[in-house]
Amino acid sequence: MLFAYPKAASSLGLFTALLFSLSACTSPLSSSQIDREAYLQSFIGQSSELIDQNLDLKRLGYQQISGPHLSEQQLSYIVQRPLTIPLPIAQFPAAGTGAVPIPTNISPVTGYDVNLQCKISFLLKNNIATAVRTTGRTC
């Protein structure tokens, strides 16, 4: 029955692919995740002051929620990644074979906007970064 409605099948496939890409715990690292990790790792060996001056969270696609938190053991940033999840739009009727009218006054809302949070922490020893840890699904 899917062959009769190729647009619905492709929309369903796209939506399914999006859902799978959001399950970062079970997915291998993408090239952008590897780039983020490499970028964050480049700060190992630097002081907390240099990290704070040079860390470009926008480059990673993050928005900083609050100022950095500095303690003797770590320098932490709480960030979020804005993401829009598209809403599936029906492309075929539930019953019958009639055409589906496409309204001309479609609402501009075509998805859910979510802000997925992440915490980036540089572990410090004598105010020098020794490691970086990320927690959260968007890291």
Instruction: Please tell me the pTM assigned to this model.
Output: 0.59
Distance CA 126, CA 86 (A): 46
Q: Would you place residue 66 in the very low, low, confident or very high pLDDT band (cuts 50, 70, 90)?
A: confident
Q: Would you place residue 31 in the very low, low, confident or very high pLDDT band (cuts 50, 70, 90)?
A: low
Six token digits for residue 61? 């696609």
Out of 8-17, 79-88, 98-107, pick the least confident.
Answer: 8-17
Unique residue bearing structure tokens 């470009």: 56
For position 4, what pLDDT does the model report? 46
Q: What is the mean pLDDT of residues 5-23?
A: 44
Per-residue model confidence as pLDDT tens digits over 94-115: 555 555 555 555 555 566 656 6
Out of 4-8, 48-52, 111-115, pick the least confident.
Answer: 4-8
Question: What structural domains and CATH numbers belong to the chain?
Answer: 29-88+111-139 (3.10.450)
Q: Does 39 have pLDDT greater than 50?
A: yes
For position 68, what pLDDT does the model report? 94
